[in-house]
Amino acid sequence: MVTNLFDQRQDISPIPDPYGEGGLRVWDDYQFRRKGVRWGGPSRPPVPVVPPVILYPPLNSILPDVEGLEVEGQDLFCTEGTWNGTLPISYDYQWYRVAFVPTEAPPINTVVPLISGTTLEGYGLFCPTGTWTGAVPLFYEYQWYRTGEIISTPPSNTALPSVTGSIVVGSLLTATTGSWSGTPPLTFTRQWKSGVNYVGTGASTYTTVPEDIGNVITCEVTATNPFGAVTAISNVFGPITSAAVPPSSTVSPHITGSTVVGSLLTTTNGSWTGVPTPTFARQWKRGATNIGTGATTYTTVSEDIESSITCVVTATNAAGIVTATSNVFGPITDVIAAGETLTSDSGETLTSDSGEELTT
């Protein structure tokens, strides 16, 4: 007697014969197997059960690689690399010409990052990456630093304010702010003082008045920024006088140098009094003839031989113009005096034990 044979498995249960003949089948490793029949018909082959098909797109696991000689005119080859995915996989190729960057090229900065924002405390700052070259991809990290004391720095005076002008009453005085450091922006205010009394306005100039006579003038400059205010006091200017006093020579100008032609002569301005302090101009003379320039020095020439040299100094201030004449220097000669030394045009030092003609 023919019977059905079954695998002894808990999850097996008879199901209808797929051929409609009343036979039984069992589930075994994704296929049906006909174990036996009890009807008179022929045995049928097992019926396969096909699992569902899942398709996977291509996924690269090893990059393609260009091979060949890096020489013009030589052929290059490109491998496929390694890919995963549902077969079959087909390949297309597209070549590109790009700027040459060695794979080992380190990052090189070509445009420095520039911080933007405001320097005031409590505000955000922004730092871009700048511009870099090198093997890609490039990755960026940021580290902020505080350098020196440029953040939240109050004003600090580095050069005092300065008052200039004439000490004669009625003159216009001018005050600079001096030099300062500190976090910008810096703003400045001024306060003039005559002695211990505050005078004038906050302007950069002040015109002295009769009440200032006998007093010295100063200017207090206050620098302010968001982090503090600091005051610096100018130089002491004065005292202020009641009227201008014309120049007066107390010591005459004086010429020094060698009497040998070709020598460099030098003159002083002499000593002077006057209110305000005089300014000076000079005029060299050969006898009564004007020579040279208005400099403090004059180099004698052949035309000066046997002549004496003087220099007229002119002192000028608001009260007047006064001149003073130097000592009479000379006469100029072409002979080196005994014991005199002279430097020639070539730099050689000449000394005479007894008078002799000079040749340079």
* pLDDT above 70 (res 46): no
Contact 213, 187 (CB under 8 A): no
pLDDT at residue number 158: 96
What does the pLDDT look like over 328-338, one tens digit per residue? 999 999 887 65
d(CA 64, CA 81): 4
Provide the 3-class DSSP secondary structure of residue 212: helix
* pLDDT above 90 (res 212): yes
Average pLDDT, the chain: 81
Across residues 154-169, what is the average pLDDT? 94
Structural domains present in the chain: 156-233 (2.60.40), 245-343 (2.60.40)
Across residues 21-31, what is the average pLDDT? 44
Give the position of tokens 């409609």. Answer: 20
pLDDT at residue number 12: 46
Across residues 190-217, what is the average pLDDT? 94
d(CA 160, CA 232): 6
Q: Which two tokens stand for residue 33?
A: 């197997």
* Close Cβ partners of 348 (under 8 Å, ≥ 6 residues apart): none
Closest-CA residue to 22 (of 34, 7, 10): 34
Position with higher pLDDT, 49 vs 52:
52
Q: Which of 46-50, 148-152, 222-226 has the lowest mean pLDDT?
A: 148-152
* pLDDT above 90 (res 208): yes
Position with higher pLDDT, 116 vs 316:
316
Q: Which of 28-42, 109-123, 221-235, 314-328 has the lowest mean pLDDT?
A: 28-42
pLDDT at residue number 70: 77
DSSP β-ladder status, 320-325 and 228-233: unpaired
Position with higher pLDDT, 205 vs 29:
205
What does the pLDDT look like over 136-154, one tens digit per residue? 788 888 877 776 545 678 9
